[in-house]
Amino acid sequence: MSPQKLATRNDYKVLVDKYDTFLFDCDGVIWHGSKAIPNIQSTLSMLRSRGKRLIFVTNNSATSRSDYVTKFAKLGIQAKTEEIFSSAYATAVYLSEVVQFPPNKTAYVIGGSGIRKELQEVGIATMGQDDKAPVDLSTLAEIEPNSDVGAVVFGIDFEINYRKLSNAHINLMYNPDCLFIATNDDRTLPGGKHVYPGTGSMLSSLIHSTQRTPLVMGKPNKPMLDCVMQKYHLDPARTCMVGDRLDTDILFGIRGGLSTLCVLTGVADEASILDPSAPQVTYYMDSLGDLSELEMTL
């Protein structure tokens, strides 16, 4: 079935009635950088007032869920920690609930404070944050596997260095059963006018040096969705994934068997949505903010 454009109040109503839960990507859907998409606050209030469950799903692993709540508040949106599902939190859920990470083991983390915070909140100790000392050929051999390390967790880390990469490498190579988990594999990271190397690019170093394949949690990969579905006991038939990118958000929804809605306020344009070789969305519309028209009809 080709993508259906939603453009009238009736279209919006049919959409909203059909689903109990909406999963949202944030950047390009809810906001652009530090600016809310017009009418987004009223759209979200309207959905809440109709008893819909809202879950914000982000590949960002640098920010913890509580920091996200603060960001939402600054944009005039009330959100609860439980409504936010980041790739860092998904990693914590996966380690603590899916693989039952042994309590005597530690996660070696390449990543920011967001991911450490999420792991620590589920009781998983982390190391790596203090690995800042320079290394050279004469001191390299000091970097040895540590049998306490049960997983290497990789997310965006603006303080990445050769010592951290070597520690992660050596544990993945020589430490039996050491898990290899990446929060996401985004190739690039948007930063104003340009894009910069993303988690997936930095991760390539470690994939290449260890010849190991990490489990990637974030969109468009399935593990994060499995965590979301399991955590909230969602019915895929009554859940819709809303995003602005076909290759991450929409593919993520499709892989999870969900309906999908692509908005035109971010990366995808109408031509790419209608391209039959792209992941096929269920619905698309100009802006999620347009749903606020339903507010008056409640």
Q: Give the residue numbers of the binding site for substrate.
A: 219
Q: Which of 235, 253, 215 is nearest to 99 (CA)?
A: 215
189 counts as binding a copy of itself under rule CB under 8 A: yes
Asked if 141 is part of the footprint of a copy of itself (rule: CB under 8 A), the reply reads yes
Segment contacting a copy of itself (CB under 8 A): 6-14, 19-27, 160-168, 290-298? 160-168
Catalytic residue list contains 27? yes
| Position among 54, 127, 135, 278 found at the interface with a copy of itself (CB under 8 A) | 135
- Is residue 192 left, alpha or beta, with left meaning phi > 0 and alpha meaning psi from -120 to 50? left
Stretch of 37-45, 170-178, 244-252, 271-279 contacting a copy of itself, by CB under 8 A: 170-178
Exposed e or buried b for every residue in 68-106, given b needs 16+ CB within 10 A? bbebbeeeebebeeebbbbbbbbbbbbbbeeeebeeebb
Least Cβ distance, residue 138 to a copy of itself (angstroms): 9
Please pick, from the candidates 65, 169, 219, 245, the single residue that binds a copy of itself as defined by CB under 8 A.
169
Q: Kindly identify the residues of this chain, within the stretch 19-78, that bind a copy of itself according to CB under 8 A.
A: 62
Please report, in range form, the residues annotated as the binding site.
Answer: 25, 27, 219, 244
- Of 11, 17, 20, 25, the active-site residue reads 25
- 14-17 long-range Cβ contacts below 8 angstroms, 24+ apart: 15/240, 15/261, 15/283, 15/291, 16/46, 16/47, 16/50, 16/52, 16/291, 16/294
Catalytic residue among 27, 148, 247, 275: 27
The binder of a copy of itself chosen from 49, 78, 147, 204 (CB under 8 A): 204
Alpha carbon distances (Å) from 266 to 29, 85, 191: 7, 20, 14
Q: In terms of Cα–Cα distance, which of 267, 226, 265 is closest to 97?
A: 226
Q: Where does this chain bind a copy of itself (CB under 8 A)? A: 62, 134-137, 140-141, 143-145, 157-162, 165-166, 169-170, 173-174, 187-189, 191-198, 200-202, 204-209
- Catalytic residues, by residue number, are 25, 27
